[in-house]
Amino acid sequence: MSTAAQGAPSLRWSLVVPVKVLARAKTRMSAAAGPHRAALALAVAADTVAAALRCPLVDDVTVVTDDPLPAAELAALGARVVPDEPDAGLNPALAHGARRAREAAPAAGVGALSADLPALRPAELATVLAAAAAVPEAFVPDAAAVGTTLYTARPGTVFAPAFGGASRAAHRARGVRELLLDGTDSVRRDVDTPADLRAALVLGTGPRTAAVAALLPGLAGDAPRPAR
């Protein structure tokens, strides 16, 4: 067994979570969420960050956002919040957050985590991060097997996420290790559409998402149990 594999489970992680300005978030939920769209976007991000902070392998979460409302709420949960200084798109924002995270914890691995995982379970995230620790770079595809919900880089590895569009194919083409692990559905279940939200509610979302979903016509009865 290699030294990396032997030490993999004990590697600590810093996660970077990008959060859009709420006025531009969850646009594909406009018809279903109506006046609750911004509240839903904030609830989903807050449940994601809260779960990530409870993961036993995560030491800190850095949120990159230019919106003062999620900045305040996510900081209150315990996240470090930094502005999107590059203001050049998603991947530059993630790289900026990763630089700040590595300044604070240079011995930790760094991961970019989608802000759209309201059913995220800390134990399932830990399973994925333990596996990611054994390779220089890794990623988790979304439930549709098109995008990416988590990208990781070990200490000393260049942090180069390729989020956006068909990011699964982009990460695979670059040789990043794909992680498809049993029992980690909550790490893959991102929410962009009403169908995604229904699927997350079946898994069991965090309390903030469940509360907003209860206000949405057609979704109020789709939350049989909380995730945590």
Structural domains in the chain, CATH included, are 3-213 (3.90.550.10)
Q: What is the mean pLDDT of residues 25-31?
A: 91
Rounded Cα–Cα distance for residues 200 and 35 (Å): 21
Q: Is the pLDDT of residue 8 over 50?
A: no
Residues 46-83 pLDDT 10s:
999 999 999 999 999 999 999 999 999 999 999 999 99
Q: What is the mean pLDDT of residues 162-190?
A: 97
- Regarding predicted confidence, which is higher, 136 or 227? 136
Rounded Cα–Cα distance for residues 147 and 58 (Å): 23
When the pLDDT of each residue in the chain is averaged and rounded to a whole number, the result is 92
Q: Confirm if 113 and 16 have CB atoms less than 8 A apart.
A: yes
> Would you give the DSSP letter of residue 138?
E
Q: Is the pLDDT of residue 1 over 80?
A: no
Q: Check residue 219 and give its pLDDT.
A: 73
The distance of Cα 222 from the centroid of its chain, to the nearest Å, equals: 23
> Would you give the DSSP letter of residue 176?
P
The two tokens of residue 154 are: 């070990």
Work out the percent of the chain whose per-residue pLDDT is above 90: 89
Residues 106-154 pLDDT 10s:
999 999 999 999 999 999 999 999 999 999 999 999 999 999 999 999 9
- Count CB neighbours of 223 within 10 A: 20
Q: Is the pLDDT of residue 4 over 50?
A: no
Rounded Cα–Cα distance for residues 65 and 94 (Å): 10
Beta-strand relationship, 58-64 and 80-82:
parallel
Does 167 count as an annotated binding residue?
yes
